[in-house]
A and B are shown apart, each in its own frame.
Chain A
Amino acid sequence: KQEVTQIPAALSVPEGENLVLNCSFTDSAIYNLQWFRQDPGKGLTSLLLIQSSQREQTSGRLNASLDKSSGRSTLYIAASQPGDSATYLCAVKSGGATNKLIFGTGTLLAVQP
């Protein structure tokens, strides 16, 4: 059974710092991995999706990498801003016929001005 965990659970950094969020999954047979942002009491905003055949994806100040064999993904945020403060979730879609996303526990990020 696929399990997804995220470390750290919470992170506080000063504005301008570069940071890395970690996501690990127990079954490496994934189809893709998606990173989301969730603001308090709000929905999930898709940030990046990496297919299993890809090593990384970039969007603006965000860069997500995937190492399928070791069951890890990282989300790198460059030059963090207070507006980046949110919970960041990773979710995997396993291989095979499944459609569902299996979510991690999330990392609560606070960027201090």
Chain B
Amino acid sequence: EPEVTQTPSHQVTQMGQEVILRCVPISNHLYFYWYRQILGQKVEFLVSFYNNEISEKSEIFDDQFSVERPDGSNFTLKIRSTKLEDSAMYFCASRSYTDTQYFGPGTRLTVL
């Protein structure tokens, strides 16, 4: 069964460094999402992406964040200058024209 994949599974970085989290959505899906979950807290929406542009973003998704679909398969989340509070599990999700969102296994980001 097709799955959303994410790399790396764990990323450790120094505060102020740039990180890129990578996702490969399910191949025939058209809508792409990033969510994050700070340890012990709810899963929070960051951004949705459709037709090569951001369709919606949360107030968390400020100028330090960007998303890109550089080719037909990858979907990336870039954090330009990481902060301690960016430490979280980041989930990528995708869906087709149906409503069910399928989530990847997540990337655990640790900012030191």
Q: A102, B45: Cβ atoms under 8 Å? A: yes
A-B contact count (CB 8 A): 54
What 5 additional pairs, Cβ within 8 angstroms, besides A31-B99, A100-B48, A101-B43?
A44-B43, A49-B99, A97-B56, A101-B101, A102-B45
Shortest distance between the CB of A60 and any CB in chain B (Å): 16
Q: Which residues, 93 to 113 on A, are CB-close (under 8 Å) to B?
A: 93, 97-106
The answer to whether A43 and B104 touch across the interface, beta carbons within 8 angstroms, is: yes
Q: How many residues of A contact B (CB 8 A)?
A: 25
A42 to B99, Cβ gap below 8 A?
no
The interface size bin for chain B is 20 to 34
A63 at the interface (CB under 8 A from B): no
CB distance from A58 to the nearest CB of B (A): 15
Known interface pairs A99-B55, A100-B56, A100-B58; A46-B45 also in contact (CB < 8 Å): no
Given contacts A43-B91, A44-B43, A44-B91, contact A99 B48 (CB under 8 A): yes
Instruction: Output the least CB separation between A51 and chain B (Å).
Output: 7
How far apart sit A107 and B112, CA to CA, in the bound complex (Å)? 30
Q: In the complex, what residues of B have CB within 8 A of residue A76's CB?
A: none
A-B contact pairs, 17 of them (CB 8 A): A34-B100, A34-B101, A36-B103, A43-B4, A43-B104, A43-B105, A44-B93, A46-B101, A46-B103, A49-B100, A89-B43, A97-B56, A99-B48, A100-B45, A103-B43, A103-B44, A105-B42
| B99 contacts A32, C-beta separation under 8 Å | yes
Contact A43 B106 (CB under 8 A): yes
- The closest CB in chain A to the CB of B55 belongs to A99
Whether B75 is near chain A, meaning CB under 8 Å from some CB there, is: no
Bound-state Cα–Cα, A42 to B9, Å: 10
Q: Residue of A at shortest CB range from B98?
A: A49
Min CB–CB distance A55 → chain B (angstroms): 17
